[in-house]
Structure 1
């Protein structure tokens, strides 16, 4: 009788140990997979991002009405989908938040053409991109894209690509001389491209396109 009782206790201990081992193995496997996924996402978040190459402005009437923010992926960055990006920019009084509008896409700017003369297609004819660009949307003008990854419906940029984020701020921001402007192009993941400049002390009638940053 004592032997049978001991055997039952032994079997029960073995079963409990087996169940505990199975739980530990499953938990450790789950944590390993979770850690790997988190590490990959963290690396992507840290290594990826956008950088501002240059900011150009087009002025008339004593203030800047149109902005072109030239951006490119950071070194080692994963491909970035600009359709998921957000542009935020402020003059200290008003703030603009813009999302991508696929209507205002130009992927054919070549031979030294002006960004501010870029056109987009509609059902009738080619029209100037900036003329119809809403204040709450940004357009894209492709400047460099060897693998044609940046298209109208999927504006994805990767290594070596350069595009211009186009903004019509004529009715939203008051970019008179000596105005401090800050903002960012915020991608879906990764570091944002920082916009920070002060408008010139005066605007020359002989030079409508000026470099701001």
Structure 2
């Protein structure tokens, strides 16, 4: 009995060493798998961040390379108040094309603010009867504006697709009686012509203290 005990101990020791070796191998394999998964996640994250950065860059370039400039603003006076506004706009230099069907006008007379969108039923490819007599402004509302085309060399601006590009000139007609019950003398008016993307056109003027003429220049 005493002679067999050392053999049993030695066999037990050998089995323990083998188990430890297998355990270490399993841990090593698990570490490799975890490292691979982590690397895969890291690569995917890097790709996502790179794509987001590229998209942001493209949007930034688009936002600074397109936009609208307000050339001038004039008003039509009825009963000692400005009844209509004619806002002349053109794309900024080297701008991408601007789709006016996705462009809105914000206006405020210091007491009320309105947002106006394009009404395709109020469009004219000319201004033969002048800014304020070509369209039937009574059909405009407190939420819509019309368009007169003054210059469109490539015929890109139509009632259904009012797209303007470099050197085009159009006039936005607003019925201010519907918006504000008219614009009174000395009223301060501010606003923007806001394209789908890019630089906004700025509207800012103070109405004259007295309206002498039927048509008044307001900006610049």
Partner of 1:115: 131
Q: Given the superposition, is the C-alpha separation of residues 172 and 17 from structure 1 closer, same or farther in structure 2, using an over 3 Å criterion? A: closer
Other-structure match for 2:141: 134
Please tell me whether residue 208 in structure 1 is matched to residue 214 in structure 2: yes
Question: 1:143-187 deviations in whole A, cap 9, x for unaligned?
Answer: 122222222122122222211111011243332222221122122
**Structure 1 unmatched ranges of 5 or more:** 119-127
Corresponding residue of 1:198: 206
- Which of the two has higher C-alpha Rg? 2
Q: Structure 1 residue 84 and structure 2 residue 105: aligned? A: no
Distance in 1 (alpha carbons) for counterparts of 2:188 and 2:51: 47
The answer on 1:104 being equivalent to 2:111 is no
Q: Is the partner of 1:68 in helix, strand or coil?
A: strand
Alpha-carbon separation, structure 1, partners of 2:142 and 2:179:
7
Q: Tell me the residue number matched to 1:155.
A: 162
TM alignment of 1:54-65, pairs within 5 A = 54-65=72-83
Aligned 8 A contact 2:141 2:178 in 1: no
Supply the distance in 2 between the matched residues of 1:170 and 1:6 (Cα, whole angstroms): 85
Aligned-residue Cα RMSD (Å) equals: 2.1
Q: Distance in 2 between matches of 1:62 and 1:17?
A: 79
Corresponding position of 2:186: 178
**1:30-73 CA distances to partner (integer Å, 9 max, x unpaired)?**
11111101121122223332211000111122121111101112
Cα distance, 1:27 vs structure 2? 1.3
SS in 1 for 2:211: coil
- Offset at 1:140? 0.8
Q: Alpha-carbon deviation of 1:16?
A: 2.2
1:121 corresponds to which residue?
none
Counterpart CA distance in 2 for 1:35 and 1:176 is: 49
2:90 to 72, 78, 102: 72
Q: Which has a greater percent of helix?
A: 2
Distance in 2 between the 1:154 and 1:6 partners? 71
In the comparison of the two structures, how many residue pairs are matched? 200
Cα distance in 1 for partners of 2:201, 2:110 equals 19
Task: Summarize the Cα distance change of 1:13–1:135 in structure 2 as closer, same or farther, 3 Å threshold.
Answer: closer
8 Å contact 2:101–2:162 — kept in the other structure?
yes
* Preserved CA contact (<8 Å) 2:141 2:179: no
Q: What 5-or-longer segments of structure 2 have no aligned partner? A: 1-17
Aligned equivalents of 1:11, 1:66: Cα separation in 2: 78
